[in-house]
Structure 1
Amino acid sequence: MSSQPDHDGVPSAAIAKQAQAWLVRLRSGRATADDAAAFRRWCAERPEHARAASLMLEAWDGLEAASAELDAEDSAADSTPHGQRGARPASWRAGRRAFMGAGVAAAASWLALRPPLQLWPALGDLAADYRTATGEQRRVVLSDRLVVEMNTQTRIDIVRTDGGTQGGAHGIDLLAGEAEVVAGAGAGSDSAAPQPVVVRAARGSLQAVSARFNLKRSGDEVCVTCVAGEVTLQHPQGRFTLTAAQQITYGNRVVQPPVNVDSSLVTAWRRGVLVFENAPLSDVVSEINRYRPGRIILRNAELADARVHAQVALAKIGGAVDLISKITGAHVTRLPGDIVLLS
């Protein structure tokens, strides 16, 4: 299940910038009929082109609507006799219009930096040393002692220390997403005291000489599951050791006590399947959104608490919406851009 960022149905940052350039050009007041025809051809080339243009246009129109409201207010103020409350100087109105005009011109750029509903990668995401797109999984061999299996929508940076092998990565910093880390897999027999692999995630630092563990980061919350071997977590709240089938969750200020889990369920994604056992639908939707283009949106709070028992094959992630509807009875509304409303 491998794909490139611009081949998985999700507009890439590059496509978002192209859409930005088109919209700026077409809204400049100098566009020609040939420009419009060329834009239509560009949108027809790939679904991602049309999706990026549509989403940017929506945000742009929203700013223009706000600008129109301000114009209406200013017109009302113009009709107010001078000196009465509500009248405003022309310089003030001009400043407001200039501000809104700048906002309209910057809308597409803002969307490239902060895409709505995470429908495409933000430009800042591209700065990571390694990243995976929606639905992409990637194996990265960083040294003879460190192998990282990256899951969908994951970003990592390389961490090197003085004790690392020459030219090799001694650890990683998990910026977002999920990864399975194999530490010490290729350690040579002549290495009497190998340096531990270091994995940073938020405010925690994990160390392992020989272990396999899964870690998942969402914002500043991190969940670590030890699959084999032993992993040590160093956190401002203390030091914790995990052995096989133990899991720990932490944030910036709080570390939950380690618990015993079935690690095979946590790592099911490595076998190409998602397993949900009595999980709230809100969690199910959040997880599936990491693997499919577009976005599933829950519009019913009661529905969000519905409990789900299900297995979803990643190769058939497109059928997840129909499966959810069958299990929960949710009404499905499909919108352009692979956006789905459940109510």
Structure 2
Amino acid sequence: MTSRGDLESDIDPLDREAVDWVVRLTVGQLAESDRVAFEHWIAASTAHERAFAAASDLCSHMRHLELPTAAETFERTAAQRTADSGGNVVPFGAKPRHPAMSRRSFLGGGAIAASLAGGLMVVNPPLALWPSLAELMADRRTGAGEQQSFRPVAGVEVELNSRSSSSRTLGGHGLELIAGEAFISVSNAQQPFKVFASTAHLSASQAAFNVQMMAGSLCVTCVEGTVTISRGAYSEPLRSGHEIVFDTYGKVQKAKADEFVRLAWRRGLLVLRGTTVSEAIPQINRYYPGRLVLTDNSKADWPVTGVFHIDQIDLAVVQLERLLEVEARHLPGGVVLLG
């Protein structure tokens, strides 16, 4: 058996540096000094470019890693007995899902594999560069540009948006949204359906609502009926036409819902209406097969307005280039620098 120490001792220092740059580029906005340092690093030699490409490609592949779970095995077996038990993955485009990664290719990742073995994947992958352990263990998970619909229990329908994951709880009468976004319709259910998202608990007997988790915030939009929302000492019913947002600082904001914007993904669209660049990029990244990174912090608050087809999300990148008056730099592994 190869130990972690043996694996790390065989890693080329250049591979380690490539891993560091992939993580730094995807964790957030770069300072000007970081951008300049990266430009010098990758331009040093073709070996640097190859190392960065290998690290980026493997991280991208890890994002789509498929590991079978007991729940998936159970549901696939049940699907053969009744059509209602199965769920169909519906891609926005015609792109097939990435195949499962073999043990050989995983270990062949060198520095990346060592980082994963060290617990980086298990604890908190940077900006979903690869799935967390919770996502890998989820009953259902979608990749970039995919949606999935299923019925966890009679009277309840769930639609998962792109880059989302969930698991059934309470014998099918509950759902844990682990990451991403979901639209839940509850009608004629035998008992109230419960949704667990971050630290919030939602309960509904007759309702249709959208739950979005993004960049540490949680937004619940009620379209029909009433949803009861509880979070710590906070508990309040959310009625049709309204939404509530719990931001990263613990603040609660309740407002009239903009359903055209919030539910556009169900029509295959991404709608941005005066959205700041710093908020627009995570939304685009939900559908973009790579990763957009803003390198010019001075333009983070610039507003972006537009309607984009999710299966043509590249056009959103073009608009950002024009808006920011920059030329996007496309790096190996789907990393795109804006600024």
TM exceeds 0.5?
Answer: yes
TM-score scaled by length of structure 1: 0.65
Cα distance, 1:201 vs. partner?
1.1
Once the two structures are superposed, the pairs formed by residues 76-95 of structure 1 within 5 Å of their partners are none
1:297 matched to 2:257: no
Alpha-carbon displacement from aligned partner over 1:260-304 (angstroms, at most 9, x marks no partner): 122221000000001011110111111111111121100001122
Contact 1:153–1:176 (CA<8 Å) still a contact in 2? Answer: yes
Cα distance, 1:115 vs. partner?
5.5
Contact 1:8–1:134 (CA<8 Å) still a contact in 2? Answer: no
Contact 2:157–2:184 (CA<8 Å) still a contact in 1? Answer: yes
Distance 2:125 2:135 in 1: 11
Cα distance, 1:117 vs. partner?
5.2
Cα distance, 1:228 vs. partner?
1.0
Cα distance, 1:15 vs. partner?
2.3
Matched residue, 1:15: 101
Matched residue, 2:44: none
Alignment equivalent of 1:2, drawn from 91, 94, 102: 91
- Stretches of structure 1 that go unaligned for 5 or more consecutive residues are 23-55, 61-104, 162-168, 188-193
Distance 2:288 2:137 in 1: 23
Matched residue, 1:133: 143
Matched residue, 2:195: 199
Distance 2:127 2:231 in 1: 31
| Cα 1:112/1:217, change in 2 over 3 Å | closer
**Number of matched pairs:** 247
1:311 matched to 2:315: no
Contact 1:151–1:178 (CA<8 Å) still a contact in 2? Answer: yes
Alpha-carbon displacement from aligned partner over 1:243-265 (angstroms, at most 9, x marks no partner): 11111122688351421122221
Distance 2:199 2:248 in 1: 6
Cα distance, 1:330 vs. partner?
2.5
- Work out which of the two has the higher radius of gyration on C-alpha atoms and give 1 or 2: 1
Contact 2:135–2:178 (CA<8 Å) still a contact in 1? Answer: no
Alignment equivalent of 1:109, drawn from 102, 117, 124: 117
Matched residue, 2:166: 156
Once the two structures are superposed, the pairs formed by residues 180-259 of structure 1 within 5 Å of their partners are 180-184=183-187, 186-187=188-189, 194-218=190-214, 221-250=217-246, 254-259=250-255
Secondary structure of the corresponding residue to residue 137 of structure 1: strand
| Cα 1:257/1:288, change in 2 over 3 Å | closer
Cα distance, 1:8 vs. partner?
4.6
Matched residue, 1:334: 330
| Cα 1:115/1:270, change in 2 over 3 Å | same
Distance 1:201 1:245 in 2: 20
RMSD of Structure 2 on Structure 1 (CA): 2.7
- Stretches of structure 2 that go unaligned for 5 or more consecutive residues are 1-89
Cα distance, 1:140 vs. partner?
1.0
Contact 2:145–2:311 (CA<8 Å) still a contact in 1? Answer: no
| Cα 1:16/1:322, change in 2 over 3 Å | farther
| Cα 1:156/1:219, change in 2 over 3 Å | farther
Q: Work out which structure has the larger RCO, using CA pairs closer than 8 Å and 6 or more positions apart in sequence.
A: 2
Distance 1:211 1:108 in 2: 41
Contact 1:215–1:222 (CA<8 Å) still a contact in 2? Answer: yes
